Amino acid sequence: MTPELSRPVTTDRIGAAELDITVTADATECAALARRMQVPGLLSLRCAFRLVRLTADTILAEGHLQARMVRTCVITLEDFETGLDEAFRVRFVPAGTESDDPDPEADDEIGYEDAVLDLGEAAAEQLALTLDPYPRAPGAELPDMDEAAAANPFAALRRH
């Protein structure tokens, strides 16, 4: 299955010097990614990568992800527009050689096959990792629990 955002890059393009590549999603790719991420809308996605060869098979990618999207507030249940601006680091390693080290400070690893890195899919994965699971619209506040308890029809029963 082809990912919604695919930008294959062969590892032979990454020599001794760094390679800078920017991935930008078009409107169709944004719509497909929004469905995958289960968000009301993805308005734009841009991800800049700086690729550096660490070893013959290991590529370090330092990236900067920028996105505009529509999210649904968990408090008001209304849609709102928000942005993401995140820097990240990942290592591309041959598929099957990914580390199972649970160190949260270690770089994430992405397996690749046939000497091809998919920077589009890497950008999509970083987007998924940065999504707030409980998005709040600006200014949305949880109700004061004392007021909510006083308005509860069972509150009077507790006093007796």
Q: Taking residues 135-158, what's their average pLDDT? A: 72
The Cα 101–Cα 124 span in angstroms is: 23
Q: What angle do CA 23, 131, 73 make, to 5 degrees?
A: 130
Q: What predicted TM-score, i.e. pTM, was given to this entire model?
A: 0.84
> Contact, 75 vs 142, CB < 8 A?
yes
Structure-model confidence comparison of residues 104 and 66, the more confident one: 66
- Work out the angle between the directed axes of helices 119-130 and 27-37 (0-180°, nearest 10): 50
- Phi first, then psi: give them for residue 119, nearest 5 degrees: -70, -25
| pLDDT tier, 109 (very low <50, low <70, confident <90, very high otherwise) | very high
Instruction: State residue 4 phi and psi, 5-degree precision.
Output: -60, -30
Range of weakest confidence among 102-106, 108-112, 135-139, 142-146: 142-146
pLDDT at 136 over 90: yes
Encoding tokens for residue 126?
């970083």
Q: Looking at residues 102-113, what average pLDDT do you find?
A: 88
Three-state SS for 65-114 is EEEEEEEECCCCCCEEEEEEEEEEEEEEEECCCCCCCCCCCCCEEEEEEC
pLDDT of residue 30: 97
Q: Pairing mode, if any, of strands 41-53 and 108-112? A: unpaired
- Please choose, from the candidates 116, 126, 11, 7, the residue with its C-alpha nearest in 3D space to the C-alpha of residue 62: 126
- Per-residue CA distances from 132 to 69, 71, 143 (Å): 12, 9, 21
pLDDT of residue 95: 92
